[in-house]
Amino acid sequence: MSIFEIVMLTCFGFAWPISIHKSWTSKSTGGKSPVFSYVIIIGYLSGLTHKWLNSRDLVMVLYGINMVMVTIDLLIYYRNRRLEAAKTIGKGLETAKLNG
């Protein structure tokens, strides 16, 4: 178990709830990249796989928690994209009613 790995995962672990809260309250996809989230998830999966194959320890829990938080943030991104699309469609209907 490496203290540096623990510190890294803990620092990332504090950042994800902030990102999740911002995504949830803003209801916006601005500044978010699903590709980035997928890359991070792949990174966490790689870390978990390495731990599973080479040195199983409690750090695996930190990888898992972080991966879950990134996945939650990614799911909120898709929710926000749907909300933005619905808002755009709604504005289009309002414009059509005004012009029609």
Residue 14 lies in a domain: no
Can you tell me the distance from the alpha carbon of 46 to that of 88, in angstroms, rounded to the nearest whole number? Answer: 38
Find the mean pLDDT for residues 66-74. 97
Q: ∠ at Cα 84 (80, 85), nearest 5°?
A: 115
Query: In the chain, how many domains are there?
Result: 1
pLDDT for res 100: 58
H/E segment holding residue 97: helix 59-99
Residue-wise pLDDT for 5-59, tens only, equals 999 999 999 999 999 999 999 999 999 999 999 999 999 999 999 999 999 999 9
Residue 63 lies in a domain: yes
Chain centroid to Cα 27, Å, comes to: 14
Q: Are the C-beta atoms of 59 and 51 separated by less than 8 Å?
A: yes
What is this structure's pTM? 0.85
pLDDT for res 93: 59
Its domain, for residue 67, covers: 32-100
Residue 15 lies in a domain: no
Residue 12 lies in a domain: no
pLDDT for res 88: 85
